[in-house]
Structure formats: structure tokens, C-alpha cells
Amino acid sequence: MSPATAGDVRLVDISKSYDGVPAVEAVTLEVPAGAYCCFLGPSGCGKTTILRMIAGHENPTAGEIRIGGKNVVGLSPSARRTAMMFQSYALFPHLTVRDNIAFALRVRGVSRAERHRAADQMLEKVRLTELAGRLPGQLSGGQQQRVALARAAITEPLVLLLDEPLSALDEQLRVQMRQELRRMQRELGITFIHVTHSQQEAIALADMVVVMAKGRIRQAGSAREIYDAPRDRYVAEFLGGQNVLHYEIDKVNGASVLLKGPEARSIEVPLNGHAGKLALVAGAPIDVAVRRDDIQLRRPGTAGLPGTTALSARVKAVEYQGYFVKVLLDAGSADELVAYVSERDFFRETLDVGDAVLATWKNDLSRLLVLGDG
């Protein structure tokens, strides 16, 4: 087994139920060694359960977990070379920072001098050397997180598991600490699996984002893939930044498909490789995603450009967001339609609530979504 693959994590058809209630269902996933992988989803979606199963703190009801090619189910956490950073850190309140970090070595029987040396090295990596003699109760949230990280990393694990590490911090600190985590991961060179409910955090940090809902994976891929090309309505709505519109299939038109909308409106959406995968039955319902920042607002009555769709809409609300303005529109259907207009563009010609506009977008920028199961 080459060192390059030693830290890859493979979930093979993993399931977990508690008293017959499924928390995780038939999850299969492959995380390459050295990747920063984020599990993203609302609370109760099973992401923490999966993390704990990889860590060895829970056992799957079925399925295999392979780390570095070896099935680790049934092994203790230290035997499987994983280490976990707990939510709220779980630092031992009665031990100093140095002793907290050295703990893993202590239970392995390493001599005091040696383990203090190793701990001090770790302290340098997380830049907390002056706090070595303090107690956890005397540290700030960010400092505690670094100690927790050092404590987990000292065992030189193959995979580091992080359970919502930034949730307990306030906004500004969170953004700062994100960079710390990324830096540490690059320096240590090991696989990080990080569980979070914040999509912003996930797409900022991760090489690989895994979106989960109700115990199943909805989509796994790079951050850009997930954000720009969501697979289904759930992912699109969870990641934010997308409009999801409901239409009915009219007919296929070469490389794109014509869809019928409310008030007999028709739009054209490129197939983009969905041809073989979707059941393109006339009359069947389908979802379409259009990025909010891809919508251009024009005056009503402006001539339509070729290859674009234009919907008449009325401005429902306007929300200033700093570098962009969020405009909520009513296009006559039940779907929510939102446009992100760059701030400078907006203030060139301001819009008020009640104004009529044309919401336009290039057809190429719209995407078909797989109908998820809710």
C-alpha cells in the first residue's frame, strides 16, 4: 500500500439505524487521501453519525468502512489511525494545554520528557507555545480549537475528523479559524473530514463537498461543481444562490429541451448530458436552476436577445447586501425568483417595489435538475 493512498477513506454501503429508525442509509463514498472533505447538511441529516462511524465511536449496522484499503469496522479509534476533534473541543479541564496535547502519548507509555518534547513541537505548529502551562478554562475559543487540533494531530493519524469545529465561535473568529484549519491540513498533509451545516464554510474550505439530507448523500463533488451545477432541487436550495423553477416538459429540441411554464410560457434549457439519464416524457414535471447572479434585469419592452429567456416580473422587495443588491421578484408563479444585482449596476438605475421588469438570462446558464425525493 503506497503512502499516497494510505489516508483515503472509502464508505461502502454504510447504514446505521437506532432502534429501527434509520439515521444513515446505504451511503457509498470515496474520499481521496490528503483531501479536505466537508460533509454538509442540516442537523439530523446523518453527517455527524457518519463521522462518528469513521472515527469508531459508533458502529455501522451494515456496510464497510475502509481506511487505506483496510476495513476498520470493529477496530478501536486509535487502531484505525483516525483522530477526532470534538465539537466544543472536549479538552480535559484538569490538564494543562501541554498535558492535553501530550495525552495520547501518555496513554501509550511514552516517557514524560519525550512526550513533552513532542507536545512542544505541536504547540509551535499551532503557534500556542506561550500558553503551554495554561488550563483550558483560561483560553479563548479560538485557542481552545488549536489545542484540540494539536491534541488530535499528535498521534499522526491518517484521517482527522472534525465535528462542527467552528460552530461555537463567533462570526469573525470563524472566518479567521477557517484559514487556520486549511493551513494545518496542508501542512500535515492528511485527509480531513469536516462536518458542518454552513454551506459558506464548506465551499470555502473543501476540496470535496458532500451534501446530505435524511441519511443519504445528495451530491458529492468539488465545491464549484456543487455550487454551480447542483444535481437536484434540495442541493440547489441548500447551497443557496440559485433560483429553482418548476416547469413541465414540452418536447426535446436537439441539444436542448423545451419546457412549458405557468401562463403558457415556454423556456429552453440545454440538455447538457442529461439526455440518457432523465426520463424526458412530455408532460412530466421538471426543475430548472438559474443562478441568481445570472439574472439580468431589463426594462419591460426591451427587445429580447437571441438565446435568452425573458420573464415579466414585478419587484416584490429590495435588500441591500453591500456589494450586491438582492431583488425579490414576482413572476406570476409560485416559484421564488431572486436576482443578485451588482451594487454599482443597481444604483445606476434603481428599482423600487412594484416596478415592472424583465428578468432575463442566457439559456446556456440554466440547468436541469434531477427530481430528488424531497
Q: Which residues bind other proteins (CB under 8 A)?
A: 55-57, 59-64, 73-74, 76-78, 82-84, 86-94, 103-104, 106-108, 135-141, 144, 151-152, 155, 164, 167-168, 170
Residue 18: CB minimum distance to other proteins, A: 11
Residue 358: CB minimum distance to other proteins, A: 44
3-class SS of residue 337: strand
With contact defined as beta carbons under 8 Å apart, do 112 and 68 qualify? no
Q: Which is nearer to other proteins, 81 or 291 (CB)?
A: 81
Q: Which is nearer to other proteins, 102 or 313 (CB)?
A: 102
Residue 92: CB minimum distance to other proteins, A: 6
Residue 70: CB minimum distance to other proteins, A: 15
With vertex at residue 131, the alpha carbon angle to CA 127 and CA 134, rounded to the nearest 5 degrees, is 150
Give the three cell numbers for residue 245: 423553477
User: Is the C-alpha dihedral spanning 62, 67, 73, 76 positive or negative?
Assistant: negative
Residue 159: CB minimum distance to other proteins, A: 12
Distance from C-alpha of 13 to C-alpha of 83, rounded to nearest angstrom: 23
Residue 64, burial from CB neighbour count under 10 angstroms (0-12, 13-18, 19+): middle
Say how many C-beta atoms besides its own lie within 10 A of residue 179's C-beta: 11
Q: How many residues does the chain have?
A: 374
Q: Which is nearer to other proteins, 159 or 289 (CB)?
A: 159
Residue 23: CB minimum distance to other proteins, A: 13
Residue type, 142: G
Residue 343: CB minimum distance to other proteins, A: 30
Q: Which is nearer to other proteins, 27 or 368 (CB)?
A: 27
Distance from C-alpha of 52 to C-alpha of 260, rounded to nearest angstrom: 46
Q: Which is nearer to other proteins, 100 or 309 (CB)?
A: 100
Q: Which is nearer to other proteins, 75 or 278 (CB)?
A: 75
Residue 154: CB minimum distance to other proteins, A: 9
Q: Which is nearer to other proteins, 145 or 243 (CB)?
A: 145
Distance from C-alpha of 67 to C-alpha of 161, rounded to nearest angstrom: 13
Q: Which is nearer to other proteins, 46 or 63 (CB)?
A: 63
Distance from C-alpha of 104 to C-alpha of 152, rounded to nearest angstrom: 8
Measured in whole angstroms, the distance separating CA 72 from the mean position of its chain's CA atoms is 25
Distance from C-alpha of 171 to C-alpha of 191, rounded to nearest angstrom: 26
Write down the H helix ranges in the chain: 47-55, 97-106, 112-125, 141-153, 171-188, 199-205, 223-228, 233-239, 343-348
